[in-house]
Amino acid sequence: EPARVFAELRYQTLESWSRTRRVVAKAEHLARGANPRFVVTSISAEARPAQPLYEEDYCARGEAENRIKEQQLYLFADRTSAGTIRANQLRLFFASVAYTLLNALRRRGLPGTD
């Protein structure tokens, strides 16, 4: 049976952190096994409880990073090895247009599909 529990703790390293930090812990156990996660944050518990901080803020950030990775890897937006700035700018422009089209296809043409 899958289970998910959130907890908070205060933590400070002995050498590198100047003060204690808030750590949000997610303990999750799925059919595949344990899936623990830890998020270090400066947002207070009063401003943002643990579960919304993890699910809405941290996971949304991960999704944004996935979109950046898609553009770099699949649309070759990291290729700026041309001899001129204009050529590199054109490459990034084409990659951005391709990303916009792909994102529109995903949003409008593929809802409800795997």
The domain in which residue 100 lies consists of 75-114
Q: Whole-angstrom Cα distance, residue 60 to residue 56?
A: 6
Proportion of the chain above pLDDT 70, given as a percent: 96
Structure tokens at 77: 């937006």
- Per-residue pLDDT reduced to its tens digit, 52-73: 999 999 998 888 888 888 777 7
**What is the pLDDT confidence band of residue 109, given thresholds at 50, 70 and 90?**
confident
Domains in the chain: how many in total?
Answer: 2
Angle at 65 between CA 105 and CA 96, to 5 degrees: 45
Same domain (yes/no): 54, 96: no
pLDDT at 93: 87
Same domain (yes/no): 57, 81: no
What is the bridge-based pairing of β-strands 21-30 and 33-34?
A: antiparallel
Q: Whole-angstrom Cα distance, residue 4 to residue 64?
A: 24
pLDDT score of 76 more than 80: no
Same domain (yes/no): 42, 93: no
